[in-house]
Chains A and B, each alone.
Chain A
Amino acid sequence: MLQAVERALALRADLGVVGIATEAQIERAIEGAGLEWWDEAPLEGRVYGFLFDGVVYVRRGVTPGTRLVVKAHELGHALLGHDAGAFTAVHGGIPVSRHEQDAHAFAFAALLGPPAATGTGITRQIQAGGRADLPVGFLFTSGSVLLALR
């Protein structure tokens, strides 16, 4: 988890991100990692994005905030080396898989900056993310994961 956050903060430094990262900055990082992305994936139901074979697939028609989070999350998987191993299946709830928790933590830190050390601080970050139209589900889940493991 700590490694995921550190990796995200290093990325922010490399990109010169101040405040909430923009989609253009995350896309630059995706390209820098040797990946492609596709914003028009005809995904349905509950599937909003995935990483496969060097491509970040993003569901077409989603809000800019969801698009940004999906890209940051999947970039996290790639940068943390999750694309060549085995994964843990989960059945609902906050991600059980360590990889999913790490990808969420990465996305949170990459987009919003260093996770606060207190619940109040995390709440403020969640509120800031909400004002930037990031998906509230992501914000609560990743914030909870960071709080639980802080």
Chain B
Amino acid sequence: MSTKQPRQELIAFASWLRRQRRARRISQNALAEKLGVSKSAVSEYEAGARRPRLESLRKMVDPLETPLEQIEALLPSEDAETSRLPGSYVGWTPVATASSTSAAITRPALLFLGPNGEIEGIDDLDEAEQTSVRRSIATFRERRAARGGGSASGGGAGARATG
């Protein structure tokens, strides 16, 4: 049993790994042997206390019968970093990354917009995507102003009708 503290960003992967291993009746010892790591390392992976190296992830593909892409999708990238930005925006972008429909994974990408709509930081969006966000905000504001003074009245139905 690991004594390290679980890391929030690893919990989903840890839970998945534990379920997959148990479903295939593989012991922690046996999985450790296949991965070429210690049993305590596997225990820490399943506790969300430690991130496996890419080499270990690759070795999980066969015993857990899961494509590497799907395994990696459960983890933040190794260069993931925590950013605290003064934005007032959050979005999500569903992208099917797996080969089969049933295994499609959502890969979120977050934006951070400042209080006046300026994009202060963008994660994982290309220029066209960034431009489309700015254009969306500008277009909506233009249409709302054209409707009568920038009022948000009319609610969603009014907003939808402007499309």
Determine if A141 and B91 form an interchain contact, defined as CB atoms under 8 angstroms apart.
no
Q: How many residues of A contact B (CB 8 A)?
A: 65
User: In the complex, A124→B7 CA distance in Å?
Assistant: 29
- A60-71 vs B, Cβ < 8 Å mask (1 yes, 0 no): 100000100110
A7-15, A33-41, A109-117: which one contacts chain B? A33-41
Residues A87-119 near B (CB distance < 8 A): 87-100, 103-104, 119
Across chains A and B, the number of contacting residue pairs, with CB separation under 8 Å, is 223
- With contact pairs A40-B163, A144-B12 given, residues A66 and B87 touching in the complex (Cβ less than 8 Å): no
B24-32, B33-41, B52-60, B99-107: which one contacts chain A? B99-107
Q: How many residues of B contact A (CB 8 A)?
A: 72
Determine if A42 and B106 form an interchain contact, defined as CB atoms under 8 angstroms apart.
no
Closest to B129 in A: A45
Residues B118-141 near A (CB distance < 8 A): 121, 123-126, 128-129, 131-133, 135-137, 139-140
Residues B62-118 near A (CB distance < 8 A): 72-77, 79-96, 101-113, 117
- With contact pairs A91-B76, A92-B76, A93-B74 given, residues A40 and B12 touching in the complex (Cβ less than 8 Å): no
Determine if B94 and A90 form an interchain contact, defined as CB atoms under 8 angstroms apart.
no
- Does B155 count as interface, using CB distance less than 8 angstroms? yes
Q: Which residues does chain B contribute within 8 Å of A86, judged by CB atoms? A: 84-87
- With contact pairs A41-B136, A43-B136 given, residues A90 and B110 touching in the complex (Cβ less than 8 Å): yes
Residues A73-94 near B (CB distance < 8 A): 73-74, 77, 82-84, 86-94
Q: Which residues does chain A contribute within 8 Å of B5, judged by CB atoms? A: none
Closest chain A CB from B137 CB (angstroms): 6
Determine if A39 and B133 form an interchain contact, defined as CB atoms under 8 angstroms apart.
no
- Does A129 count as interface, using CB distance less than 8 angstroms? no
Known interface pairs A66-B94, A144-B16; 15 further A-B residue pairs with C-beta atoms within 8 A, sorted by A's residue number: A27-B157, A37-B160, A41-B140, A43-B136, A51-B89, A53-B88, A56-B156, A57-B136, A60-B163, A92-B72, A93-B13, A97-B110, A100-B92, A135-B94, A135-B106
